[in-house]
């Protein structure tokens, strides 16, 4: 019986690559998204993967969304908390709205989503929770106090939840991507990319979404059952943790 995997922020960028890789590996995949209906419909048409729209910063929306996914596909056994947003500005100019939006989406969503599935995982004695953090949660980034704080919180969440569930067949791990070749990075002016970003990356190139996705597929597998509470750094050597 194919396991059910749910990916938040799953219809674009890294999330889309994760969904496709899990689907190719034989999982029944549900892709959550927040607002871009056109992109979600295109993704669904191209991949055949089911898409579900809700706001991961809302606990009630997550509860309703997970119930719908489980009614359609079965119990969620693999959860990838990938959804994230940015509201960048220097801290002395940051508004409460910018702070709360990023903290609630990038960190609060880990509680909102994982809380819906953890009891089922504990009851079945199997589960995989994989949290997509960021290099900037490890080293910090100018203009991203909110984002860096949330992504650092993702790592602490990962370690504590892993400890609580290690004896129950549930693993909890984090992945920290660096600069990945997604729409967001492609929007950076070419001269900025070539002069200010690529020189910081020892391998001399951006990472690819599929490289993150392959790591997720491995961490979701039975073969990764001894790996829990870990932070996997995938950034081309830019920051070695």
Other Cβ atoms closer than 10 A to 224: 17
What pLDDT sits at residue 138?
A: 97
**CA–CA separation, 207 and 18 (whole Å):** 14
Task: Name the pTM for this structure.
Answer: 0.97
pLDDT at 159 over 90: yes
Q: pLDDT for 160-171, tens place per residue?
A: 999 999 999 999
What pLDDT sits at residue 164?
A: 98
Q: Closest Cα to residue 112, out of 61, 169, 146? A: 61
Q: Token match 């991203």: residue?
A: 144
**CA–CA separation, 209 and 232 (whole Å):** 15
Over pLDDT 90: what percentage of the chain? 93
pLDDT at 189 over 90: no
pLDDT at 221 over 90: yes
Active site residues: 147
pLDDT tier, 73 (very low <50, low <70, confident <90, very high otherwise): very high
Which residues make beta-bridge pairs with 207? Answer: 180
pLDDT at 180 over 90: yes
pLDDT at 115 over 90: yes
**CA–CA separation, 209 and 18 (whole Å):** 8
pLDDT tier, 183 (very low <50, low <70, confident <90, very high otherwise): confident
What pLDDT sits at residue 45?
A: 97
Average pLDDT over residues 9-27: 98
Q: Closest Cα to residue 60, out of 18, 128, 112? A: 112
The token pair that represents 202 in the structure block: 């020892």
What pLDDT sits at residue 91?
A: 98
**CA–CA separation, 15 and 12 (whole Å):** 6
What pLDDT sits at residue 241?
A: 86
Contact 115, 42 (CB under 8 A): no
**CA–CA separation, 40 and 29 (whole Å):** 14
What pLDDT sits at residue 186?
A: 85
**CA–CA separation, 28 and 34 (whole Å):** 20
**CA–CA separation, 8 and 240 (whole Å):** 27
Alpha helices in 57-144 (DSSP H): 59-73, 96-103, 109-124, 135-139
Other Cβ atoms closer than 10 A to 134: 26
pLDDT at 240 over 90: yes
What pLDDT sits at residue 234?
A: 98
């Amino acid at each position: 019986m194919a396991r059910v995997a749910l990916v938040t922020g799953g219809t674009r960028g890294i999330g889309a690559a994760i969904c496709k890789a899990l689907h190719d590996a034989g999982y029944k995949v549900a892709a959550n998204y927040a607002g871009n209906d056109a992109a979600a419909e295109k993704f669904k048409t191209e991949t055949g993967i089911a898409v579900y729209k809700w706001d991961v910063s809302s606990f009630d929306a997550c509860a309703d969304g997970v119930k719908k996914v489980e009614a359609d596909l079965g119990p969620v056994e693999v959860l990838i908390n990938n959804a994230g947003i940015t509201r960048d500005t220097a801290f002395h100019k940051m508004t409460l709205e910018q702070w709360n939006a990023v903290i609630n989406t990038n960190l609060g969503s880990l509680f909102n989503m994982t809380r819906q599935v953890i009891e089922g995982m504990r009851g079945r004695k199997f589960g995989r929770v994989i949290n997509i953090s960021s290099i900037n949660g490890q080293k910090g980034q100018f203009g991203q106090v909110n984002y860096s704080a949330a992504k650092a919180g993702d790592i602490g969440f990962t370690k504590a939840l892993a400890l609580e569930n290690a004896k129950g067949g549930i693993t909890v791990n984090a992945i920290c991507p660096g600069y990945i070749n997604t729409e967001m990075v492609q929007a950076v002016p070419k001269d900025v990319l070539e002069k200010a970003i690529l020189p910081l990356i020892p391998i001399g190139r951006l990472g690819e979404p599929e490289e993150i996705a392959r790591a997720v597929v491995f961490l979701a597998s039975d073969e990764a059952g001894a790996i829990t509470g870990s932070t996997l750094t995938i950034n081309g050597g830019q920051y070695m943790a």
